[in-house]
Amino acid sequence: MQIIRDIGQLGSALIALRAGGHRLALVPTMGALHAGHMALVEEARRQADRAVATIFVNPLQFAAGEDLDRYPRPEEEDVRALEEAGCDLLWMPTPEQMYPPGFATSVSVSALSTRWEGEARPGHFEGVATAVAKLLSVIRPEVAMFGDKDFQQLAVIRRLVLDLGLGASVVGVPIVRDDDGLALSSRNAYLTAGERRRAVTLPQALQRAVLAIESGIAVREALDQAEQALSAAGFSKVDYIALVDALTLEPLDAPAGRMRLVAAATIGSTRLIDNYPVGMPQRQ
């Protein structure tokens, strides 16, 4: 695997990867890689001839008081994992390379960014969209891989690519979960042993809510039960639990069309997000 740290060397490296008409797949990450990221690399290798990964802890998507400074950065382990997964090239830009002096451009995807994560973390999606637009513009992959766990982010990026004509096909890769159901996340490393045991309440509560909605129970009742379960398990804050339209992300008071159950809640000092698809209620 070739490792590029200097953006001045990236262009020639990408030309070499494309030699012979090879297609490129991009896997953008912030590092602290786990099995979910490896699933992205695996899918990238299926979708294209060459897999390109990036590791960039993007300062624009962290608000004041969030975990930018303590975000895990295990570089050696990440490089080893990508090599073992068969990644062809890793680009690790610095903030100064991504946002050089005088950088004055930001990208905003308005309609899909206002609710849920956008409301809980103001400015977050503007930072994500700006970084992703920069990565796609520089690398110009034929396909780009993103995890379903960040479901709203996936919708924002799809809209971004479509609106700006960036040319990449955006592929969502299913959530990878631990044996007990907790969605894998780099931030899970923040959890104490006790918090980790109780964190599984999040996927469990969402799964019960999905079954309740699909069985015909009122949406509000199912969501309230899920929130009560999180509070009882020691989650200190529930930013949202909502049934949304899977395309527009608008909240649904009753089942309709393609749906997703989305949630964000904090246990200890760790904020967790998760989501599940929801089918229409079964006819009795």
Residues with catalytic annotation?
37
Alpha helices in 86-200 (DSSP H): 95-98, 110-113, 117-120, 124-139, 151-164, 193-199
Among 27, 10, 39, 37, smallest CA distance to 188 is for 37
Task: Specify the 3-state DSSP secondary structure of 59.
Answer: helix
Burial readout 97-127 (b: 16 or more C-beta within 10 A, e: otherwise): bbbeeeeeeebebeebbebbbbeebebbbbb
In angstroms, the CA 225 to CA 271 distance is 20
Task: Specify the 3-state DSSP secondary structure of 284.
Answer: coil
In this structure, which long-range contacts are made by residues 230-233, counting pairs with CB atoms below 8 Å and at least 24 apart in sequence?
230/201, 230/202, 230/205, 230/265, 232/201, 233/198, 233/201, 233/267
Name the packing angle between helices 75-85 and 35-47 (round to 10°).
40
Q: Are 241 and 223 in contact (CB under 8 A)?
A: yes
Distance of CA 93 to the CA centre of its chain: 19
Name the packing angle between helices 124-139 and 10-18 (round to 10°).
60
Among 81, 89, 100, 75, smallest CA distance to 141 is for 89
